[in-house]
Amino acid sequence: MEKEKLIVALLAIAFIGAVVLAIFSLSGFFSPKLENNAANFQQFASQANPEDVCAVPAGTDPAQWREHLSHHPDLYSQCLK
């Protein structure tokens, strides 16, 4: 009986922890993203490397960066080869 209570308590704690983690993850608490709008355009522009337009900016996922560049083939065709 005591062992069953311990298992139920551990499962309840794990469930509560998973719910809390999901809430924080979905809220963006752990990885705040910089939104692209007029107010913070300079922050985006300052992340760019003027010497290598194909370079992935710090903190950016390479796959997402490549996808972004693919939306501008006229500007970044050399990066998409």
Looking at per-residue pLDDT, the higher value among 72 and 19 belongs to 19
Could you tell me how many residues make up the chain? 81
Query: Which of 42, 24, 26 minimizes the C-alpha distance to 34?
Result: 42
Q: What is the pLDDT of residues 19-65, one digit of tens each?
A: 998 888 777 666 666 677 777 776 666 666 777 878 888 788 989 88
pTM for this predicted structure: 0.40
pLDDT band at 7 (very low <50, low <70, confident <90, very high): very high
Looking at per-residue pLDDT, the higher value among 43 and 74 belongs to 74
Whole-number pLDDT of residue 23:
86
One-character DSSP codes across 42-77? HHHHHHS-TT-TTSPPTT--HHHHHHHHHT-HHHHG
